[in-house]
Amino acid sequence: MKKNVTALQKGLNTGITLGVVMVFLSLTAFTVVLANIIGDSYRPTPVTYGFVIALFGFFGGLMASSKRGLPNDDWKNVLTSSAAAGLIGGVILAVPLAVLGSIHLNGTDLRNYLVMVSPDVMETYLFGIGLLPAILITVIIFAAGAILGGAFNKGAARAEWRARWMANSQEKIRSAWQAPRVQQVVAGRYSKLFFMVGALLLLFLMPFVWGSYWNYVMGTVGLYILLGLGMNIIVGLSGQLVLGYVAFFAIGAYAMGLLSSPEPLGIQLGFWPALLASILVAALTGILLGLPILNLRGDYLAIVTLGFGEIIRILIKSDSLTWFTGGPKGLRAIAQPAIFGLKFNSDVNFMHLILVGVLVGVFIAYRLQYSRTGRAWLSVQGDQTVSRATGVNTYQYKILALALGAAFAGIGGAIFASRNQFTGPEDHVLMVSINVLCLVIVGGMGSLPGVILGSFVLKGIPELLRDLTDYRLLVFGVLLVVMMIVRPEGLWPTRRPKLEKQHLSKYDPDNDEASSEEVSA
Amino acid sequence: METLKKLVPSDLNASKWVRMILGILVLALLVWRLVDVILIQRLYGPDTWARFAITGLIIGGMYALIAIGYTLVYGILLMINFAHGEVMMLGSFAGYFVFELLAFIPSPGPENPEQVLLNAFPVLSILVAFLVGMLVSALAGYFLEKIAYRPLRKAPRLVPLISAIGASIFLQNAAMLLFGPQRRTYLNPTLLDRGLGLEIPIAGNNVLVPYTGIFSFVLSILLMLGLYLLVQKTKLGRSMRAVAEDKGAAALMGINVDAVISRTFIISGILAGAAGVMWGVHNGLLNHYVGYIPGMKAFTAAVMGGIGNIPGAMLGGMTLGILESLGPAMLGIDFQLKDVIAFTILILVLIFRPSGLLGERLSEEKV
Amino acid sequence: MTKLTLTNHPPVVIEAQSVTKRFGGLVAVSSVDLSIREKTIYAIIGPNGAGKTTFFNCISGFYTPEEGEVLFYGKSIKGKTTDRIAHLGISRTYQNIRLFSQMTAIENILVGSHCRYTNHWLDAILHTRRYRREEAESLAKAHDLLKFIGLEGLGDNLASNLPYGAQRRLEIARALASNPKLLLLDEPTAGMNPQETDEMIEFIRSLRDNLGITILLIEHDMRMVMGISEYISVLDYGMKIAEGTPTEIQSNQKVIEAYLGPGAAALQEKFSRGKDE
């Protein structure tokens, strides 16, 4: 749809967009944080900061010199476009910096209005030199980065030798994979079993090696996998958009807490009975919630369930229900599991418990997904009216999906509460629902590997980027939008089973005369 | 109504009994609480009730303005603009910074060298704050649509909703990173001091109606009237209605659908921006989270009135404001549970009258 | 091939007794009577907006008629939900193909046979004996149906990736998977070229001849209707204006008027008389 524009125009457009983004990143001090990460220090240096600016410029140059929209990609066009992008972007970045810089040099602390722009950050933006030279340097570095980016794009990334090299290496990998010896091992009789046992052993041993921090992080990822599996049944299979999933999680956690904590009810059941109760209560809530509202259209359902989640959270938090829920303080001293008198109280034990939970969960979800039940759900997602007219009791299947999905959340919540030995209203905010929904969608709706991948991406990677904690949600929001635009089917889209092939390999094709008569009968 | 009910026989029939039982339970609970609070316990005098109602009406006006934004967008794109509350929040911040800036600059007039611009020209200051707030929100709405929704026009319905959630998270956190998580106090011109107001004697007691409230209410009514005229009388309004009716046919009639959608977002943004500044002026508190709850409530209001229906959104906003304000007192429950009432109303409306108070009945799917 | 075979008393499959369906003030179907005997290919025709699809929807349970009765083998199915009706043995296709596009062809057929099996989610998790037996059985049957509609080897393709004609046949296969006694086809040859239409006619005949299924269809294509159906009802403005064998319908004055407007019949008569002379 884009009109053909000249190289200069394209460069200007790219530059303006990039400039605005850069201004935003500077005002939130993101550039400085990046500089810190690159320099591996707590204080940015002019060099690392300059490098970050150049890096963004380089990126802009890459964008400005991409083939799309350029009339042709000879050197002149590429350089014009990237230089224009660099210059205009640099100027747009420099103007607010100049304004802020002069205010800063007046001795005003900008943090009253722009919370991240501390005097230190401001000093970095000014490279520790005067206002005017700093502005000039910013523009020059940015533009230089952009021109370099354009040149790199034209000279290296798009060059013929690179394409040839890529093709060559792909070919090499393929031939190595298809080598008889490799195939023998892969397709060998026990290799699958061997591989699985190895993987299980590895999973079992990892918690001992990792240390408690990683056990905590990976435990969280595991819990989110469990939640994601349940959400995947509800959203990915039966196609109901539920935004109040956290309600089930909260109910699971609170059922565990209330039944096993000494306060406020003092029932103090053990972990296992409480776990069972959590699952049942959560599933029951799913059914009760589903009964009246499942005839609602998709986005209405989303809002009703969102409202339900908020109601649960507000009720938990409310002072007037403290006698029952513990109120804003939450629940403490929640029971931990024990098997044959062996107490689960270390992080390793909990990691193992979560691993077992995840494995069982994946197993159950897998079997459900590729069964008659799973197909019925998928048909409801595809076209509810037709599904019903084809003989699927859509209403029952939707409620079943909600109940099973809620049960998964219940397990997740119960283990979560027991692991932390605590649960309170702040554990059950809307963000949990949105996180779970997003991991399902980012992974790929209806795809089990997608759920696992999505959990790692959304809960694991942010833990790696500790330095970026403040920016995590920001990046998350952008990621969601970009993901929906670029790859709405998810990172690991679902694949349907090859049932015909499976059937043919099981039954000799020459021998199915008999069964075809069955149909006509 | 009758026919459309028949259009969705399957699931409605199956849950009919459930809904009936639920309805009876809710009614019984309501009657019990009302009788208990109003007739037996007599917790509050008429002046208190009046105060609650007035508060509700004022907040309701703001809900209505935001709700119109939801309704306009839903009517045209059939999507819930989840980030609409954040659009309002940005407008609120814009108004705040205008007031701060004006309070920073000394008045040029010779008569009172101590006075700042804000109090030297209060009416003008308020006007500028509102205009800037509306402008910022309008821009936010425009770019939101252009960046996050337009590429997804033809995608399945879940996709734009997720994108909207993403945009909402982004805007909220962008505001937090820019302006910080702390609560700020809206600095009003002394003319609109939050302590001042009309004293109305009711049942022997004086009920204070703050000027900010009167101002907000009048302004929101004026804006709603303006919007109504715009939609009913102007060419833009006609094309908006046409696009809402049938995008394809509207395009064939020579209407630039993309432009109409853009303008719809701009109009929604303007109303949300005004509501945002009002929110700040009246309630006095501001942070990056300020758009979330009003946004949810306004959506509830839009659904209550019948989503896609502009008078419905206005009525829904007012009704929700009043119910929410009177609710905890009427039911005799903790005032912390105010939000529970709003969400419960949302759920009940969707269960018992998915079309809302004024809307046409929206069936799940038409065969 | 006329009244004689029809009075030979095969049982009546479906019977509509003065079925009326209104939308607000509009009477979409007005007291239509109809009865179809076993193993007939029966067609409903009529101009656009005559209420054919509405009538179809009344039979398949999408709508509940305000007045009248719908009897399936003598038992009322009025007001039953569509899944119950499918369970009883009526299945249908749609005017604009409505397959489950994100599922494979064979999975679509498996969903079609859903109501003939009873295993549930616990069976699926535990892989009980019932689950394994039913899964193997339904898969074998689905594969046979796939073969029957000539899509063998394409079963693992997503339904949405199949060519148009194949999608039409797949939709019929999905309907057949529930072992229906009555099959409702809503414009089965819409959007097909003459050759594809001929193939479809053959295919529908083979359904009746090989599987013994009673077929009720709506069609616009006169050539097809006259070529395939044994009995025809004509609807106009929601009312049944004629019924009979194809030859009877072709010469019915009311029908010609309904299709071509009043006066057309006289004109045509004149025209054909002129030709005779």
Write out pLDDT tens, residues B47-74: 888 888 898 999 999 999 999 999 999 8
pLDDT in tens, A143-168: 999 999 888 888 776 667 777 888 88
Rounded Cα distance, A233 and B210, in Å:
51
The answer to whether B59 and B325 are in contact (CB under 8 A) is yes
- Runs of H (alpha helix) within A340-492: 347-369, 372-382, 384-389, 394-420, 430-443, 448-455, 461-464, 472-486
Candidates B3, B9, B13; nearest CB to C23: B3
pLDDT at position A345: 76
| Residue of A359, A363, A369, A390 to mutate for C, most C C-beta atoms under 10 A | A390
B361 within domain boundaries: no
Token output for B7: 């259009």
Q: Which of A26-30, B209-213, B332-336, C130-134 has the lowest mean pLDDT?
A: B332-336
pLDDT in tens, A164-187: 888 888 888 888 888 777 777 777
- Domain end position, chosen among C177, C207, C242: C177
- The torsion angles phi and psi of C7, rounded to 5 degrees, stand at -85, 10
Question: Please, which residues have CB within 8 angstroms of residue C127's CB and are 6 or more apart in sequence?
Answer: A367
Residues of C in contact with B10 (CB under 8 A): 81-83
Average pLDDT, chain A: 85
Q: What is the dihedral of CA C262, C265, C268, C274, to 10 degrees?
A: -120
- Domain end position, chosen among C114, C149, C177: C177
Using pLDDT thresholds of 50, 70 and 90, give the confidence band for residue B7: very low
Q: Which of helix, strand or coil describes residue A408? A: helix
B15 within domain boundaries: no
Using pLDDT thresholds of 50, 70 and 90, give the confidence band for residue A7: confident
Q: Is the pLDDT of residue A357 over 80?
A: yes
CB atoms within 10 A of CB A203: 15
For residue C56, give the chain B residue with the closest CA.
Answer: B367
Strands C90-92 and C75-76 come out as unpaired
Q: What is the CA radius of gyration of chain C?
A: 20
Please tell me whether residues C27 and C76 are part of one structural domain. yes
Average pLDDT, chain C: 86
C5 within domain boundaries: no
- The torsion angles phi and psi of A3, rounded to 5 degrees, stand at -70, 155
pLDDT in tens, C36-81: 999 999 999 888 888 888 998 999 888 889 899 999 999 999 888 8
Residues belonging to chain B: 367
Q: Which of A106-110, A356-360, A425-429, C200-204 has the lowest mean pLDDT?
A: A106-110
The answer to whether C11 and C42 are in contact (CB under 8 A) is no
Rounded mean pLDDT, A407-416: 95
Residue closest to C162 by CA, chosen among C224, C116, C100, C216: C100
Strands B285-286 and B184-185 come out as antiparallel
B8 within domain boundaries: no
Rounded Cα distance, C222 and C229, in Å:
10
pLDDT in tens, B106-137: 777 666 666 777 777 888 889 999 999 999 99
C1 within domain boundaries: no
Nearest Cα of chain C lies from the Cα of A473 at a distance, in angstroms, of 32
pLDDT at position A221: 93
Please tell me whether residues C151 and C193 are part of one structural domain. no
Strands B205-210 and B197-202 come out as antiparallel
Rounded mean pLDDT, B290-299: 89
Among A70-84, A226-240, B241-255, name the most confident range: A226-240
pLDDT at position A520: 41
The answer to whether A56 and A22 are in contact (CB under 8 A) is yes
Please tell me whether residues C135 and C272 are part of one structural domain. no
C3 within domain boundaries: no
Please tell me whether residues C202 and C262 are part of one structural domain. yes
C102/A382 Cβ within 8 A? yes
Token output for B300: 């509830």
Please tell me whether residues C63 and C125 are part of one structural domain. no
pLDDT at position B204: 77
pTM attached to this predicted model: 0.85
Please tell me whether residues C31 and C141 are part of one structural domain. no
Question: Please, which residues have CB within 8 angstroms of residue B236's CB and are 6 or more apart in sequence?
Answer: B230, B260, B263
Q: Is the pLDDT of residue C235 over 50?
A: yes
pLDDT at position A390: 93
pLDDT at position A340: 77
Please tell me whether residues C58 and C121 are part of one structural domain. no
- Domain end position, chosen among C157, C177, C197: C177
Tell me the residue range of the domain where B291 lies.
44-352
Beta-carbon contacts below 8 Å between A and C: 149
B161 within domain boundaries: yes
The answer to whether A228 and A440 are in contact (CB under 8 A) is yes
Residue in the block written with tokens 């050539």: C223
CATH code for the domain of B272: 1.10.3470
Percent of all residues in chain A with a pLDDT value above 90, rounded to a whole number: 28
Tell me the residue range of the domain where C134 lies.
99-177
Rounded Cα distance, C123 and C131, in Å:
6
pLDDT in tens, C87-106: 999 999 998 899 998 899 99
Please tell me whether residues C74 and C185 are part of one structural domain. yes
Residues of B in contact with C23 (CB under 8 A): 3
C158/A496 Cβ within 8 A? yes
pLDDT at position A511: 47
C217 within domain boundaries: yes
Which H or E element spans position B113?
A: none
pLDDT at position C89: 93
Nearest Cα of chain B lies from the Cα of C186 at a distance, in angstroms, of 13
pLDDT at position B274: 95
- Looking at residue B116, what DSSP letter applies? B
- Runs of H (alpha helix) within C127-263: 129-148, 164-176, 194-211, 222-228, 246-250, 253-260
pLDDT at position A41: 77
Residues of A in contact with B354 (CB under 8 A): 296-297, 300
Residues of C in contact with B7 (CB under 8 A): 63
Please tell me whether residues C262 and C130 are part of one structural domain. no
pLDDT at position B349: 83
pLDDT at position A255: 93
C75 within domain boundaries: yes
Rounded mean pLDDT, A295-324: 83
B18 within domain boundaries: no
Average pLDDT, chain B: 84
Q: What is the CA radius of gyration of chain B?
A: 22
B157/A310 Cβ within 8 A? no
Residues belonging to chain A: 521
C4 within domain boundaries: no
pLDDT in tens, A311-355: 999 888 888 888 888 888 888 888 888 887 777 778 888 888 999
Q: What is the dihedral of CA A400, A405, A408, A414, to 10 degrees?
A: -100
A320/B336 Cβ within 8 A? yes
B9/C63 Cβ within 8 A? yes
Please tell me whether residues C230 and C110 are part of one structural domain. no
Percent of all residues in chain B with a pLDDT value above 70, rounded to a whole number: 92
Strands A422-423 and A331-332 come out as antiparallel
Which H or E element spans position A424?
A: none
Rounded Cα distance, C135 and A373, in Å:
11
Token output for B159: 């996709």
The total number of structural domains in chain B stands at 1
Nearest Cα of chain B lies from the Cα of C61 at a distance, in angstroms, of 9
Got the DSSP string for A9-65? HHHHHHHHHHHHHHHHHHHTTHHHHHHHHHHTSSS--HHHHHHHHHHHHHHHHHHHT
Percent of all residues in chain C with a pLDDT value above 90, rounded to a whole number: 44
Which H or E element spans position A390?
A: none
Alpha-carbon dihedral sign for residues C161, C162, C167, C171? negative
Please tell me whether residues C234 and C204 are part of one structural domain. yes
Burial class, A184, CB count within 10 angstroms (exposed 0-12 / middle 13-18 / buried 19+): exposed
Q: Which of B107-116, B186-195, B247-256 has the lowest mean pLDDT?
A: B107-116
Strands C75-76 and C67-72 come out as antiparallel
Please tell me whether residues C115 and C226 are part of one structural domain. no
A299/B79 Cβ within 8 A? yes
pLDDT at position C1: 43
Whether cis (ω within 30° of 0) applies to the bond prior to A264 is yes
Nearest Cα of chain A lies from the Cα of C24 at a distance, in angstroms, of 22
C206 within domain boundaries: yes
Rounded Cα distance, C248 and A181, in Å:
75
Percent of all residues in chain A with a pLDDT value above 70, rounded to a whole number: 94
pLDDT at position C267: 61
CATH code for the domain of C219: 3.40.50.300
Rounded mean pLDDT, A105-133: 84
B364/A297 Cβ within 8 A? yes
For residue B11, give the chain A residue with the closest CA.
Answer: A295
What type of residue sits at position A493?
A: P
pLDDT at position B113: 63
Candidates C24, C61, C79; nearest CB to B3: C24
pLDDT at position A515: 43
The total number of structural domains in chain C stands at 2
B244 within domain boundaries: yes
B7 within domain boundaries: no
pLDDT at position C104: 93
B4 within domain boundaries: no
pLDDT at position C112: 94
